[in-house]
Structure 1
Amino acid sequence: MKNNSVSLHRVIKASPEKVFRAFADPVAHATWLPPYGFVCTVQHMDFKVGGTYNMTFINFSTGNGHSFSGTYLEIKPNEFIRYSDTFDDPNLPGEMTTTVWLTAVSCGTELKVVQEGIPAEIPVEMCYLGWQESLDKLMKLVEPEIPDA
């Protein structure tokens, strides 16, 4: 796979506002973003256009981690997010761009994600697999309707 990008599509049984909040809130983001078997720590997250973030994914089995950071390039609340990603590891060069579209549909939110510029050292199919797991975790976070106690 030489195109170095992944594209994902899901329909989520939650409002665009709730799905958007899962991207905007650092605690929520750390809950669903890492694939299965990883935990995420958020060192910094300033969710606004021009704002930056820094996170670390840690392999729960080995304790090894990799950090990455980026900039929020475009944000349209409840509709659109585009941000850059750069790994701190010099062996994973380049900058990735992730674009997220949220569209209200009759049963919730249509979510489209495109990540481009994946470093050649990362097998695209592994990146795609990781995103599938992350989106599964996102759905488990935002789809339950839990009443206030």
Structure 2
Amino acid sequence: MSRQATLSDGAQRTLTECAAGSTERKRTRRNIHHPWCVTGCMVERVESVRKRMQASPEAIYQAFAEPGAMERWLPPSNMTGEMLDFDFREGGSYRMRLTYKDKQAGQGKTSETSDEMEVRFPRLEPNHRIEQEVLFESDDLAFAGTMRLIWTFESEGNGVIVTVRAENVPAGIQSEDHKAGIKSTLDNLAAFVEQDG
């Protein structure tokens, strides 16, 4: 079976497919603090996290527009990122490989040590809003699917409120772990855009 198991837009895994997934693998992946490390079925679940950053909306938007920038701030602390393809425009997409630093066998969903994701940009509003559809690749459909992320940037005083709204959140991820993952990514982004401030 090919390693690629990318689902089409809006495709949802069935409860039967979820039940067939490995309970042990769900347990080991559940606590990976990264908003895009999906486990279990996609369901109509929405979660949102926000953070104030000392930067302009233009600087934050630009952090998404450059592949080298995203490699620096997007991966969680226990992973490195490699941009495989990048086309930042409305209707465009990018593909990134996230590799675990400790190379522990069995952690990755695309390979033993890595996760690959394809992210599409269905809607872009420069300096204000970025909508993403995140597709994961895996031989196991219990770990493949599409999640929608909506990033908004609202000026407030001399800073910006960045909000991440996640839709179709996987049922296998505990809410507190998922929110911690988004918070970690927002912290990384803040450190990146504020470094010259």
Tell me the CA shift for residue 33 of structure 1.
1.1
Aligned partner (choices 45, 64, 77) of residue 23 of structure 1: 64
- For 2:74, the equivalent position in structure 1 comes to 33
2:143 aligned counterpart, secondary structure? coil
Q: Distance in 2 between matches of 1:3 and 1:51?
A: 25
Whether contact under 8 Å (1:15, 1:109) holds in the other structure is yes
Greater relative contact order structure (CA < 8 Å, 6+ sep): 2
Q: What's the CA shift string for 1:74-127, capped at 9, x where partnerless?
A: 001000010100110133232100001111221221111111112334434333
Which residue of 88, 95, 98 maps to 1:54? 95
| Correspondence for 2:119 | 70
Which of 107-116 and 118-127 deviates more? 118-127
Structure 2 SS opposite 1:95? strand
Deviations 1:43-76 (CA, angstroms, capped at 9, x unpaired): 1111111101111111111261111102101001
Give the conservation status (yes or no) of the 8 Å contact 1:69–1:85: yes
Q: Which residue of 2 aligns with 1:98?
A: 149
- SS of 1:91's partner is helix
Structure 1: where are the runs of 5+ without partners? none
Aligned residues: 145
Residues 20-60 of structure 1 deviation map (CA, whole Å, 9 limit, x = unaligned): 11111111111111111111111111111110111111111
Larger Rg: 2
Alpha-carbon offset, residue 4 of structure 1 = 3.6
Q: Which runs of 5+ in 2 are unaligned?
A: 1-42, 105-112
Q: 1:3 Cα shift?
A: 5.8
Task: Please report how far the alpha carbon of residue 132 of structure 1 lies from its aligned counterpart in structure 2 after TM superposition.
Answer: 1.3
1:123 aligned partner: 174
- Separation in 2 of the partners of 1:106 and 1:78? 16
Aligned residue in 2 for 1:135: 186
Letter in 1 for 2:166: Q
Q: Which residue of 1 aligns with 2:38?
A: none
Over aligned residues, Cα RMSD in angstroms?
A: 1.7
**Aligned counterparts of 2:174 and 2:129: Cα–Cα separation in 1:** 27
In the alignment, is the contact (CA less than 8 A) between 1:43 and 1:53 conserved in 2? yes
Would the alpha carbon gap of residues 30 and 6 (structure 1) be closer, same or farther in structure 2, given more than 3 Å must change?
Answer: farther
Deviating 4+ runs (over 4 angstroms): none
- The TM-score with structure 2 as length reference comes to 0.68
Instruction: Flag the structure with higher strand content.
Output: 1
